[in-house]
Amino acid sequence: MHARGARTRKNLCFGLTRSIRRLEVARAVRSRSAMLAHHTREVLLVATIKVQRDRLFRSQELRPLSKDTRIREVDDVVIQVTQVFCPKGHNLVNSSRGQFEGEGGIWLRVSTEGLSGEVVLSPFHGDHRRHGFTEFAEGTRVQIACPICGTPLPRLFKCSCGSGDMVALYLTPDLDDGRVVVLCNIWGCHRSKVFDQAQLLSAYFEDDELADSGEDIAPILSFH
């Protein structure tokens, strides 16, 4: 009787151990499959994003990035903005308004005296694709505002294009001035910069700026 009970307990323990091992193996397989899927997606994402890499300056000294900004590093050049806020604190990264490679774009209201519409910009810095209302003539100065509350984005400094001003979107909910995305308010000017911890993280510039500045690109990469 005792021997039979001992065998039963032994068989139960063996069965439990085997079940645990099976669960561990299944968990490891799922984890590996998830990692492989993520890596495959990253490779495809890098290959499909329409970024002119030769016009992007990317700081390699700003490490680590602020967790609060939730900036995603696609690779060593391209970054993705996953959240931006208007001066009233509305998050304008919205996947329901427009997507780029499955990622939510930056939702804005753009207007002039005679035209107004909503535009969604790519969240990948240096990718100039946009959805929505695009009827503005190239070179037109536009007002860029929050599509939710209508608050205009604040102007920070003159754009190096010579015609426009750089306006700001905040990267954190507390509206930290040192963590911003800035873009030009001239329609068709793609100059833009991303700052983290009041230091330049990424900048998009035009070829003529590099030609004019020679080897010294510091003026066009500064905060002002």
Rounded to an integer, what is the distance from CA 91 to the centroid of its chain? 13
Prediction pTM value: 0.73
Residue with tokens 């307990």: 9
pLDDT recorded at residue 192: 93
Task: Of 102-106, 111-115, 212-216, give the lowest mean pLDDT range.
Answer: 212-216
Length of the chain: 224
Each domain of the chain, given as residue ranges in start order, spans 1-48, 55-221
List, in sequence order, every residue forming a beta bridge with 116; answer none if it has no partner: 111
pLDDT (tens digit, 9 = 90+) per residue, 135-159? 899 999 999 999 999 999 999 999 9
Strand ranges in 23-154 using DSSP code E only, listed in sequence order = 56-58, 72-73, 79-80, 93-100, 103-111, 116-121, 130-132, 143-145
Assess whether pLDDT exceeds 60 at residue 179: yes
